[in-house]
Amino acid sequence: MAEDVAQEVFLKFYSSPPREFQNIGGWLSRVATNLAYNYLRSEKSRQRREEKTSLPGRVADSSEEQALKNEEVRSVRLVLDDLPERDQLCLLMKHSGFTYEDIAAATGLKKSSVGTIIARAQARFKKVYLEQKGSGA
């Protein structure tokens, strides 16, 4: 990073040199210092933004946590496979952010029916999911 700052100093010197050339070394030193401070401030700000977006106290999933997530994904896929194809498609599209118009166009349903069908599909999903969890599957 220091090399980048140094290069930036000389680019600034080339593109907008100081008005007076008596103390070029002082000017270069001041510009380098200011650019270094700017870099440090932006880096600190970036780290704060990243910390806000990450979960507190969590760096990475342990292998046990990853195994549990994989098991949950497998369970959800098994439940989806037990549902009728129309319910699968509606649920997947709804939870992928598609609008009711998009879902209606893809499934051939009326837009006014999509909400009801999704609600029923969610109820069926929940019922099958709870049955599978209860049976230890």
> What pLDDT, on a 0 to 100 scale, did the predictor assign at position 51?
79
Integer Cα distance of 116 and 96 in angstroms: 18
Mean pLDDT, residues 105-121 taken together: 92
Judge: domain 63-134, CATH 1.10.10: yes
> What pLDDT, on a 0 to 100 scale, did the predictor assign at position 117?
94
Give me the chain's average pLDDT, please. Answer: 86
Which band of pLDDT confidence, cut at 50, 70 and 90, is reported for residue 114?
very high
Q: Count CA within 13 A, CB hemisphere, residue 41.
A: 6
pLDDT tens per residue across span 11-55: 889 888 888 888 888 989 999 999 898 888 888 888 888 777 765
> What pLDDT, on a 0 to 100 scale, did the predictor assign at position 120?
95
DSSP 56: T
Domain ranges of the chain: 2-53, 63-134
Q: What is the DSSP string of 74-97?
A: HHHHHHHHHS-HHHHHHHHHHTTT
> What pLDDT, on a 0 to 100 scale, did the predictor assign at position 123?
95
Residue 133: closest CA among 78, 54, 70 = 78
Tokens of 67: 């195994």
> What pLDDT, on a 0 to 100 scale, did the predictor assign at position 121?
93
User: Taking the model in full, what pTM does it have?
Assistant: 0.51
Which band of pLDDT confidence, cut at 50, 70 and 90, is reported for residue 135?
low
